Amino acid sequence: MNFILALLAGICGAVAGFFAGVGIGTLLAPVFGITSFEGAAGYFVVLIGLLGGLIGLVAAIVLVLRYKAGHRGFRALAGRGTLVLGAIAALVAAGIAIRLATLEHFPGNVTPQLHFEIRLPAGMAEPVRRRVDFEMQAGSQRSGGQFKDEWLRRDGDRYVLSGFVPLYTRTAQRILVVSLPDQPRLLFSIGLSATPKTSDQYGTWQRVNFVDDQKPDSQPRRPGAAENFEIRFHVPKWQP
């Protein structure tokens, strides 16, 4: 119980100390001649606020451990205080992790890209570039894809298309929709986590998950034996 009280007191002390420090920093900035040029005064105020928060955090923990829990010696206070600080740090880290996990968009104003190759069935005619279309469906987000400069090559008796599409939304539910002339619409399920791991190499070939004949009242279906469309993909390094 005393441990929890010390933890809660530490959090409250940190908050109170931060705002007290901000107030003190606001008063001291003009005294020391710190102007707002390039945000200098603001940085100074925040620095004093953080210092005040640290002092309030430690002071509140020590007061609870000393006068509520009855720990008097330096070793006892330091040991139990370190445990409380570790618990607070773990709570802060967990809160940050939860917040990052619930963000819909990627942080840092950076957009990863999915690079992919589509391998057509054997014997299928060479596609006309302007009649091929890619679209990434990720929740309510729709984003169009683009061909690479070297967009078409042969792999034995099969054509391979190369392109990429931006990943704007953090979600594990992504479907790449590929439209080819005179073919049903291809629906590839992209097996990536919400924050995809990066790689310089393509993964293994995976067969199309569903095809859509685009007929009235029709539903996407499993591909037939002759509809051997395949995809492989990777996400190049994108973190800033």
Q: For residue 200, what is the domain's CATH number?
A: 2.60.40
Asked if residue 239 is part of any domain, the answer here is no
Are residues 131 and 37 part of one domain?
no
Are residues 206 and 132 part of one domain?
yes
**Which of residues 102, 132, 149 is at a domain's end?**
102
Lowest mean pLDDT among 2-6, 42-46, 61-65, 228-232: 2-6
3-state secondary structure of 63: helix
pTM above 0.85, yes or no: no
Q: State what percent of residues in the chain have pLDDT above 90.
A: 38
When pLDDT is averaged across residues 154-159 and rounded to a whole number, the result is 94
Are residues 181 and 142 part of one domain?
yes
Are residues 132 and 72 part of one domain?
no
Interatomic CA distance for residues 125 and 200, integer angstroms:
30
Domains: count for the chain: 2
Domain extent for 181: 107-234
Would you give the distance in Å from CA 188 to the centre of its chain? 22
Asked if residue 240 is part of any domain, the answer here is no
Asked if residue 212 is part of any domain, the answer here is yes
**Which of residues 78, 102, 126 is at a domain's end?**
102
pLDDT of residue 238: 76
Per the CB < 8 A criterion, the answer to whether 140 and 208 are in contact is no
pLDDT of residue 37: 63
pLDDT of residue 187: 96
Are residues 188 and 122 part of one domain?
yes
| Confidence check: pLDDT of 100 > 60 | no
Are residues 115 and 199 part of one domain?
yes
Interatomic CA distance for residues 174 and 209, integer angstroms:
12
| Confidence check: pLDDT of 208 > 80 | yes
Interatomic CA distance for residues 198 and 181, integer angstroms:
32
